[in-house]
Amino acid sequence: MRSPLRIILASCAGVSLALLFSFGWHDERTAAVQLVPFVQSEVQASIALQTATDVLVTLREPTSIAGLSPASPSAKWVIALQQNSVLAGFAEDEFITTRRYKSLPILAGRINAAGLAKLTAHADVTSVAVDGVGSIATGETLPIIHAPEVHDNGFTGEGVVVAVLDTGADIDHPDLEDDILYEMCFASDCDESEHPADDEHGHGTNVTGIITSDGTIAPLGVAPDAKIAVYRVLRRSGSGRFSDWIAALDDIIANHPEVSIVNMSLQSRSGCPSSALTLAISTLRNEGVATFIASGNHGNKNLLLVPSCIAEAISVGATYDGDNGSVDGWKADCSDPTTALDQVTCWSDSDNSLDLLAPGARATSTGVGGGTITYMGTSQASPHAAGVAALLFQAFPDLTVNELEARMKATGKLLTDDLDDADPSTNRTTPRVDARVALLDPDEDADGDGCSNGEEFGSDPRFGGQRNPLNPWDFHDVNGDGIITLFDDILAVINGFGTGGNDPLLDRSPAPAAGQPWQQGPPDGTIDVANDILGIASQFGHRCVGAP
């Protein structure tokens, strides 16, 4: 969890001329090394068609600010100097700056061919990409993730601040008004009204309520006592530019250390990499802020798009909250003739990097005008996961983002997305968040069976419990000798994955017992696998002698 306190290293007024060199922005280079920036092909194509285009320019991170808080005056000063250096020498029409970021070495603007040539010649420019356009990622769900039991034990998100980047929120909604800490607007149609982040669309209000609704009118939120920082980054139509999203993230980094969680129920049709957004989200993660992002509603089953494809974020796909009848997705070949509790929706984007699942169809929560509205999408799944994170940060305030993500993955209910009925080997298994299990103290014994929660649910990296992404034996045959080392008291190991999938001809492990989908672990603590097996997917069992 992010600390609300920061050490201010220096004030701008106290910076001497000597600091100009000690905090200089140029990397050391030799004349023999030419670093060529990455230019997205769409930039050149767009300029060829319309003479100028909107771009995001990512700059090389100054080596002199390594170890500094990105919110410190010294870091901001160095970044400003670097930005000035890059912008120097442009004619008025070559690069029209639309945004300069305070804590991120990024620029946004409109550029023509001459400006692009100057940018690519500058030693501090690492990438130039189109300023993409994204949009919203369009029941009673709390019992599914066992949030009521967590509330009954006193965990409601109190003391945790969640920033919601969306269409804004209904600032005066009875279920939200007491939870809104502050509001900001970075969309292109912001105005000077008293509440510039007030929602006229409805999407952001629904997303915010899923996290923190007081339950007076709409259903109770996952973390009803969490505070919300409302960021309107989408126009009233529900779309907006990446540069506006980055402006909000930059504001959080630069000015709001109290924020611990960011929710972005946003999607686009742009593919990774996205250097500027990646830099912003990775900076947040390094500062202790967890960013949850809707996986998208395109029906892609082997592709995540920006921003959910960013590895430093936590991507969240959607499941049904029960029988919703027949549901058609947002693409021609996506239809769920029948639906059921914990069924992965056909329209929920995924690939092997998808982090979590959560209920997203259907989700009734707060609506514009003080009422309620029902939405369906990964937009609704992401705030469910963000709300669980708020409960975890209240219960375990010293959790790092890595630990938070690992705990949520390790304790989630494993669900299978049946990608191809004719080929079960293509199925993808992903954990669906479970607040009750995630909140269990790993050193306690909730069910009294003599085994700690950590041993049973895998949240403790010392043990090979039900599913444990932190366990170093979960991965692969590092040296290629065909041997995977296990705890000698692990009960079983799932089939190895390799170039032949689950082909038994490639797997020299002991034969599975009848009716069991795993391989039995030998008592000597090792298991033999073929050299080309890529990994052991999971370990099952308990180190604890008293385990059933």
- CATH code for position 234: 3.40.50.200
Comparing 32-36, 64-68, 165-169, 458-462, the range with the smallest average pLDDT is 458-462
Confidence of residue 17 (pLDDT cuts 50, 70, 90): very low
pLDDT mean over 396-407: 90
- Is residue 176 domain-resident? yes
Predicted confidence (pLDDT) at residue 511 exceeds the cutoff of 80: no
Predicted confidence (pLDDT) at residue 41 exceeds the cutoff of 80: yes
The answer to whether the CB of 395 falls within 8 A of the CB of 282 is no
Predicted confidence (pLDDT) at residue 3 exceeds the cutoff of 80: no
* In a shared domain, residues 339 and 367: yes
Predicted pLDDT at 457: 56
Predicted pLDDT at 332: 58
* In a shared domain, residues 210 and 317: yes
Residues across the chain: 548
* In a shared domain, residues 113 and 187: no
* In a shared domain, residues 164 and 90: no
Q: Which tokens sit at 218? A: 């709409």
The more confidently predicted of residues 217 and 36 is 217
- Which H helix or E strand runs over 242? helix 242-255
Number of independent structural domains in the chain: 3
Q: Measured between alpha carbons, how far is 327 from 339 in angstroms, rounded to an integer?
A: 8
* In a shared domain, residues 400 and 480: no
- Is residue 54 domain-resident? yes
pLDDT mean over 412-435: 77
- Is residue 320 domain-resident? yes
The per-residue pLDDT for range 210-264, each reduced to its tens digit, is 999 999 999 999 999 999 999 999 998 888 999 999 999 999 999 999 999 999 9
Confidence of residue 439 (pLDDT cuts 50, 70, 90): confident
- Is residue 522 domain-resident? yes
pLDDT above 70 coverage of the chain, percent: 72
- Residue that is last in its domain, among 131, 165, 197: 131
Predicted pLDDT at 1: 78
Domain that residue 77 falls in:
12-131
Predicted pLDDT at 542: 42
Predicted confidence (pLDDT) at residue 488 exceeds the cutoff of 50: no
- Is residue 437 domain-resident? no
Predicted pLDDT at 50: 84
Predicted pLDDT at 521: 42
- Is residue 347 domain-resident? yes
* Mean pLDDT (the chain, rounded): 78
Please calculate the CA angle 211-224-444 and round it to the nearest 5 degrees: 95
Predicted pLDDT at 420: 64
pLDDT mean over 402-430: 77
Predicted pLDDT at 502: 37
Predicted confidence (pLDDT) at residue 489 exceeds the cutoff of 70: no
- Residue that is last in its domain, among 80, 113, 131: 131
From residue 33, alpha-carbon distances to 28, 29, 62, 123, 405 in Å are 10, 7, 17, 11, 39
* In a shared domain, residues 341 and 414: yes
Predicted pLDDT at 451: 64
Comparing 78-92, 113-127, 279-293, 446-460, the range with the smallest average pLDDT is 446-460
* In a shared domain, residues 114 and 204: no
The per-residue pLDDT for range 294-345, each reduced to its tens digit, is 999 998 988 999 999 999 999 999 999 988 888 887 665 788 889 999 999 9
The answer to whether the CB of 361 falls within 8 A of the CB of 327 is yes
* In a shared domain, residues 97 and 200: no
Comparing 208-222, 392-406, 517-531, the range with the smallest average pLDDT is 517-531
* In a shared domain, residues 172 and 258: yes
* In a shared domain, residues 154 and 280: yes
- Is residue 432 domain-resident? no
- The three-state DSSP-derived secondary structure of 33-100 is CCCCCEECHHHHHHHHHHCEEEEEEEECCCHHHCCCCCCCHHHHHHHHHHHHHHHCCCCCCCEEEEEE
Predicted pLDDT at 466: 37
Predicted pLDDT at 422: 60
pLDDT mean over 342-364: 93
Torsion sign (Cα): 401, 404, 405, 406: positive
Residues annotated as catalytic (active site), given as ranges: 166, 203, 379
Predicted confidence (pLDDT) at residue 54 exceeds the cutoff of 70: yes
* In a shared domain, residues 319 and 353: yes
Confidence of residue 403 (pLDDT cuts 50, 70, 90): confident
Three-state SS at 9: coil
- Is residue 548 domain-resident? no
Determine the residue type at 141.
T
Predicted pLDDT at 290: 98
Predicted confidence (pLDDT) at residue 27 exceeds the cutoff of 50: no
* In a shared domain, residues 391 and 481: no
